[in-house]
Amino acid sequence: MSQMSQPPKQLKLAFFASGNGSNLQAILDACASSELDMSPQVVISNNSKAYALTRGQLAGIGSHHFSSKTHPHNLDQTILNTLLEHSVDLIVLVGYMKKLGDEILERFRGRVLNIHPALLPEFGGHGMYGLKVHQAVVAAGATHSGATVHLVDSEYDTGPILSQARIPLSSGETPESLAAKVLALEHRLLVETLQKIASGELELEGLKT
Ligand code: GRF
């Protein structure tokens, strides 16, 4: 008798965001349209006013404001419990302005992704976020910029790079114009990279148990 083959497991996603959440929205939309074969579960934000939380609510997934103010004594444990309750496979940092706690990083080693709005290893590190990144790129006279998806370690923007997308700077490029172009690039790169993970084209050691 032939054995029925199991369909591949749909990976469950958690998101950490501190702000608008346009990258989160790109992923939610891609999952809703089946362009991306993953299952969004929960959004966690350190910022109660983050629009990312509203995006999570509108998508019907768990949406939590957890911070050192809401949970002064047990923030990391509360976050970890939430991830475990949702049986999260993969964490995506989409504009999260805090570091994840050591225990969370340990439990999810090799399963935490971040999107950065430049071509790492240049223009990354502590304090390099938002418009500051694009200001630095323009000030350096770079000919290209882009977006990077990388695995997260205990430092800022230093983990192994999974994928990058490049664009040339136009003459007269401003940090603001570059930011808009890179953000659109980020949305595509993030969804494409996640779909490569979903299909097995990109293998993450951390997902092999
Ligand atoms: C993006 O530029 C991302 O690269 C960085 O934070 C920003 C978040 O933007 N890590 P949004 O909230 O997804 O619009």
Q: ∠ at Cα 102 (200, 115), nearest 5°?
A: 45
Domains (range + CATH), the chain = 10-109 (3.40.50.170), 112-147+155-203 (3.40.50.170)
The H-assigned helical ranges of the chain are 22-32, 51-58, 75-85, 102-107, 131-139, 175-199
User: Using one digit for the tens of pLDDT, what is the confidence trace for 148-202?
Assistant: 999 999 888 999 999 999 999 999 999 999 999 999 999 999 999 999 999 999 9
Euclidean distance between CA atoms 48 and 89, whole angstroms: 25
User: Using one digit for the tens of pLDDT, what is the confidence trace for 94-137?
Assistant: 999 999 999 999 999 999 999 999 999 999 999 999 999 999 99
Tokens representing residue 206 in the block? 């951390």
User: Using one digit for the tens of pLDDT, what is the confidence trace for 67-81?
Assistant: 999 999 999 999 999
> Strand pairing partners for 13?
40, 90
Task: Indicate the burial class of 125 (C-beta count within 10 angstroms; 0-12, 13-18, 19 or more).
Answer: middle
Query: How much distance in Å is there from the Cα of 5 to the middle of ligand 1?
Result: 39
Q: Which pTM was predicted?
A: 0.95
- The b-or-e profile of 62-78 (16+ CB within 10 A means b, else e) is ebebbbeeeeeeebbee
Give the model's pLDDT for residue 2: 46
Euclidean distance between CA atoms 120 and 127, whole angstroms: 14
User: Catalytic residue positions?
Assistant: 116
Query: How much distance in Å is there from the Cα of 174 to the middle of ligand 1?
Result: 18
Q: Whose CA is nearest to atom 1 of ligand 1?
A: 95
Does the beta carbon of 19 lie inside 6 Å of ligand 1?
Answer: yes
Closest CA to 158 of 83, 90, 105: 105
Euclidean distance between CA atoms 149 and 189, whole angstroms: 8
